[in-house]
């Protein structure tokens, strides 16, 4: 064998060995079942850095709104919660009127009239307790009314102390101050009192307050009167106008001579205002009675002046009677405590009767009221003391009210 044939044979053996070595891994993989043909083709996956947590850890650690893990750039965007949509409401049933029937509306005006009634013994001026609903009869314009509600009340008062302070006579001012101080001494802690004075003008010294010291300070300021005029009608009209905007039961304690000299409002307008103002009771105390008697005895009054004061007393009595109050004309200072004790008994102890009027018209007319006391058999009630002697009593109630005016 020549050298060239020998070299060719060696090279061929080397190539065969290399080919066998290349086929060995393939044969081994086929024997183990790991060939690429037995697996489906898969896309190469990109590995994430190890510093970033997986999706499950991120969902557990991420807050609901904003935060470091919810950052998307420089601004933290909160995650939106899915809102539970409420189901739509069911459709409302449509009610159709029968054929030929139009829409119909109903309005009911159920008015109630409240009547405050005081029953006081004529001799001792004491309040009569323990009366029942069956003992009362209420008449409106002469027609009997059915009482729907009945109760006895004893409550704090809301009152205006309206006093005359004019440069007329020291005797009138002395009586006024004595009566006003006596009234203030009998007030209780829960009472609301305002002090108003008048001569030619009306002035509010103290608005409604529960502080007795302010009331005494207001009365102490009445030292030097200014005007001689006594405009009673203007002062009473303005006071009632202010009280019409105050809720609840109100009282006016009028301490005055009763004379009016220069008012813009006349007597008829004042009486109309009294009728139109609900829930107001006037108690009047006349001043200067002793001075008038002494002047009349000395021949200084004269028939015209005497008639003027008699008219003043009649006006004070009328104001009180129209509102269910009382009027007093004391001659001595010692009468004042007993007078205001009667006023307190009447104010703080009352029977309240309520009824629905049979006359339902809202025409704004003034309707007369009358209250009577009867026994179990319907006869007028008779009272007796411990010795079976008859006792006379007074029924204190306003004489009427003004019906509501219908507004179209």
Strand segments (E) across 212-301: 250-256, 280-286
Q: For residue 16, what are the contacts with CB-CB under 8 A and spacing of at least 6?
A: none
Q: Are 165 and 199 in contact (CB under 8 A)?
A: yes
Written as six digits, the tokens of 140 are 């409106």
So what's the pLDDT on residue 286? 96
| Mean pLDDT along residues 81-87 | 60
- Predicted confidence (pLDDT) per residue in 122-145, tens digit: 877 778 888 999 999 999 999 999
So what's the pLDDT on residue 320? 94
Length of the chain: 408
Distances (CA, A) of 152 to 21, 147, 155, 342, 351: 125, 14, 10, 17, 4
The pTM for the full model equals: 0.64
Q: Where are the domains of the chain?
A: 111-154+351-408, 155-348
CATH T-level topology, domain 155-348: Rossmann fold (3.40.50)
So what's the pLDDT on residue 302? 86
Is the pLDDT reported for residue 360 higher than 80?
yes
**Mean per-residue pLDDT of the chain:** 81
Distance CA 316, CA 327 (A): 7
């Amino acid at each position: 064998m020549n050298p060239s044939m020998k070299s060719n044979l060696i090279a061929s053996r080397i190539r065969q060995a290399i080919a066998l070595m290349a086929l060995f891994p393939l044969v081994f993989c086929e024997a183990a079942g790991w060939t690429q043909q037995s697996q489906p083709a898969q896309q190469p996956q990109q590995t994430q850095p190890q510093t970033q947590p997986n999706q499950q850890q991120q969902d557990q650690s991420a807050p609901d709104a904003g935060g470091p893990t919810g950052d998307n750039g420089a601004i933290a965007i909160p995650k939106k919660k899915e809102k539970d949509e409420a189901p739509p409401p069911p459709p409302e049933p449509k009610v159709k009127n029968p054929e030929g029937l139009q829409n119909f509306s109903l309005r009911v005006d159920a008015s109630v009239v409240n009547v405050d009634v005081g029953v006081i013994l004529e001799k001792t001026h004491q309040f009569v307790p323990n009366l029942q609903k069956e003992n009362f009869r209420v008449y409106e314009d002469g027609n009997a009314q059915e009482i729907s509600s009945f109760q006895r009340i004893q409550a704090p008062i809301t009152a205006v102390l309206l006093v005359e302070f004019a440069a007329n006579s020291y005797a009138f001012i002395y009586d006024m101050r004595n009566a006003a101080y006596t009234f203030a001494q009998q007030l209780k802690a829960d009472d609301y009192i305002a002090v108003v004075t008048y001569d030619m003008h009306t002035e509010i010294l103290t608005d409604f307050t529960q502080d007795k010291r302010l009331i005494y300070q207001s009365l102490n300021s009445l030292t030097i009167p200014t005007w001689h005029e006594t405009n009673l009608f203007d002062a009473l009209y303005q006071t009632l106008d202010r009280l019409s905007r105050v809720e609840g039961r109100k009282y006016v304690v009028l301490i005055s001579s009763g004379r009016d000299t220069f008012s813009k409002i006349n007597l008829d307008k004042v009486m109309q205002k009294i009728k139109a103002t609900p829930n107001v009771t006037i108690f009047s105390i006349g001043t200067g009675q002793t001075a008038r008697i002494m002047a009349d005895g000395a021949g200084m009054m004269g028939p015209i002046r005497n008639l003027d004061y008699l008219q003043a007393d009649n006006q004070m009595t009328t104001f009180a009677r129209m509102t269910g109050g009382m009027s007093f004309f004391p001659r001595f200072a010692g009468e004042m405590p007993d007078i205001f004790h009667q006023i307190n008994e009447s104010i703080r102890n009352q029977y309240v009767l309520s009824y629905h009027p049979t006359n339902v018209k809202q025409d704004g007319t003034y309707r007369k009221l009358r209250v009577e006391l009867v026994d179990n058999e319907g006869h007028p009630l008779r009272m007796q003391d411990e010795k079976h002697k008859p006792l006379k009593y007074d029924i204190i109630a306003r004489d009427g009210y003004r019906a509501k005016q219908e507004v179209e």
